Amino acid sequence: YEVSVESPEFKFCSAHFTAYPGFREKLHGHNYTVSVQLAGRLNSDGYVLDFGDLKRVLREECKSLHERVLLPTQSDVVKVLETGQQLSVTCEDGSNFSFPAGDCLLLPLAHTTAEEFASYFWGRLAER
């Protein structure tokens, strides 16, 4: 069986930039919407999984990303240094950013792309 879970409440707005050797986007933002498709066997209770639990986790994950600057921690061209309550970000192209640490979320990604966000979400769902 395959089911999709979508809701207007599974949204977040965040800022990011993507960087590769020799290329860096300008810092910009997006409005993201998360949906999940699951496939599996029916449990004895007639469900593939408990949708209440899934929806709770999706709401929590979206809330943690909402109104944050999303920064990769596994990038080969972006370095993040935490000094007190401030994050200093240095890019291969020589650009530097400074953000209040509370405005950011460090993600275990190489790039802050929609595809890597999808992988991140799937990993977070699987953990919980």
Q: Which residues pair with 4 in a beta bridge?
A: 37
What pLDDT shows up at residue 48? 83
Q: Which residues pair with 69 in a beta bridge?
A: 15, 104
Domains: count for the chain:
1
Return the closest-CA partner of residue 81 out of 93, 72, 90.
90
Q: Please give the pLDDT value at position 49.
A: 82
Predicted pLDDT at 2: 86
- As a whole number of Å, the CA-based R_g of the chain is 17
Range of the domain at 53: 2-127
Whole-model pTM: value is 0.89
**pLDDT at residue number 1:** 86
| pLDDT at res. 127 | 85
In the beta sheet, which residues pair with residue 83? Answer: 86
Q: What pLDDT, on a 0 to 100 scale, did the predictor assign at position 23?
A: 96
Residue 85 is predicted with a pLDDT of: 97
pLDDT tens, N- to C-terminus, the chain (128 residues): 888 889 999 999 999 999 999 999 999 999 999 999 988 898 888 888 888 888 999 999 999 999 999 999 999 999 999 999 999 999 999 999 999 999 999 999 999 999 999 999 889 888 87
